[in-house]
Amino acid sequence: MELKLFSIKDLSIRWRKDEGTVRRYVRDGILTPCKGVPGMMFHPRYIEQLEGVELERFSPIEKKRLEKELEELKMQNANLRKVLGNILVESSKIINLVGKN
């Protein structure tokens, strides 16, 4: 699949701005065009980042929160398994005592 870079005209249509406004954004350093291509062209990913489009499924903060929650749940699971094991041991002792009588 061929990558299509955005031109100033593309951005002016996309953002509903005058081409002069987009050129001013470049001049003021708000937009940075791609290097090594003829004219002023802009990478789609760069534009999406500027627009605030989420490129990843989770933000880094959300990912960190989910990882922490996962670790806490794993620890809770291990503790509950340990408690359940203790209950089974104690209940088997009682069953053995009742069975002997």
Locate the domains of the chain by residue range.
1-55, 57-101
pLDDT above 70 coverage of the chain, percent:
92
pTM, two decimal places: 0.51
**Whole-number pLDDT of residue 95:** 87
pLDDT score for 1: 60
Average pLDDT over residues 5-27: 96
**Per residue in 27-36, is it b (16+ CB within 10 Å) or e — as a string?**
eeeebebeee
For the record, the structure tokens of 2 come out as: 């061929």
Q: CB within 8 A of 9, min separation 6: which ones?
A: 19
